[in-house]
């Protein structure tokens, strides 16, 4: 994202001279080679596994809101669920519902697949244990705000008939931390009943405790094409108040045991909307 100051500076330069990328000090990073891409995929999958273990030691609050729209474009029925992920005294992971008003949705129906997607697919994690289940194809280098990223296309190799849910879309991986900072796509899986539709969504992550990129915001605004006609829905999920529960747990990245972590937080990617 180019700031307003940057735009003004570029305008002044363009008015006085023809500027080449070398003249303004631009550095263009080359795409990785095929061998480097394979190494990057293995490394970021390993980092994602470490991140998943780290997140399992955190408490947080998850707020989900879904709005369906009437044919005239006005907001209609709503669904809301707020729960805290906590731990019992003996360390068992718990979900405590904070708010769950009666749903007023009448044009769409929440299904078990929707529930599974909100918990497991929208905050997408691609670990070493799961990466072999996906085709992962390098697309390009891109910046998400000021973060240099590798962009990959992700698609499941096959759908498990047990009903397991998968992610299909694109992911952006920080080229320094080698963790996912953004994902965009939709949830898919083998459906027991036909006619179900699922929206495309964007999930953004933020660096927590100077180490881990945790999901903090998911946004969907999509039109689902059902047999009885199109239906627009909007969905917002917030993941807030991350706090480490097990203070004695340590997650080591590479040679982090000999290098102090950088505790200065990085700015998260900003949603487009």
Q: What is the full DSSP assignment across 129-198?
A: TTGGGEEEEEEEEEEETTEEEEEEEEEESS--TT--EEEEEEEEEETTT-SEEEEEEEEEE--SSTT---
In percent, how much of the chain has pLDDT > 90?
66
Per-residue pLDDT tens over the stretch 177-214 = 999 999 999 999 988 777 899 999 999 999 998 888 99
pTM for the model stands at 0.79
Predicted pLDDT at 104: 96
Over residues 56-82, mean pLDDT: 95
Predicted pLDDT at 140: 96
Per-residue pLDDT tens over the stretch 87-112 = 988 888 899 999 999 999 999 999 99
Asked whether the beta carbons of 184 and 170 are under 8 A apart, the reply is: yes
What is the 8-class DSSP label of residue 101? P
Spatial neighbors of 16 by CB under 8 A, at least 6 apart, are none
Predicted pLDDT at 5: 31
């Amino acid at each position: 994202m180019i700031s307003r100051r940057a735009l003004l500076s570029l305008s002044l330069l363009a008015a006085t001279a023809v500027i080449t990328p070398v003249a303004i000090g631009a550095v263009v990073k080359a795409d990785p080679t095929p061998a480097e891409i394979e190494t990057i995929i293995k490394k970021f999958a390993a980092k994602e596994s470490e991140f998943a273990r780290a997140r399992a030691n955190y408490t947080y609050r998850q707020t989900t809101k879904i709005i369906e729209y009437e044919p005239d474009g006005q907001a209609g029925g709503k669904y809301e669920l707020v729960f805290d992920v906590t731990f019992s005294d003996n360390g068992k992971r718990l979900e405590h519902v904070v708010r769950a008003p009666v749903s007023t949705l009448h044009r769409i129906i929440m299904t078990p697949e929707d529930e599974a997607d909100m918990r497991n697919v929208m905050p997408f994690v691609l670990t070493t244990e799961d990466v072999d289940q996906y085709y992962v194809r390098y697309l390009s280098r891109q910046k998400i705000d000021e973060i240099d990223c590798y962009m990959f296309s992700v698609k499941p190799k096959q759908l498990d008939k047990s009903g397991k849910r998968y992610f299909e879309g694109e992911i952006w991986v920080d080229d320094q931390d080698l963790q996912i900072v953004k994902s965009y796509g939709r949830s898919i899986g083998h459906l027991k009943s036909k006619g179900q539709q699922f929206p495309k969504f964007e999930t953004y992550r933020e660096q927590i405790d100077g180490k881990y990129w945790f999901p903090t915001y998911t946004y969907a605004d999509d039109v689902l094409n059902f047999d009885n006609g199109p239906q627009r829905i909007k969905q917002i999920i917030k993941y807030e108040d991350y706090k480490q529960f097990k203070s004695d747990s340590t997650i080591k990245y590479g040679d982090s045991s000999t290098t102090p972590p950088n505790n200065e937080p990085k700015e998260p990617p900003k949603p487009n909307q």
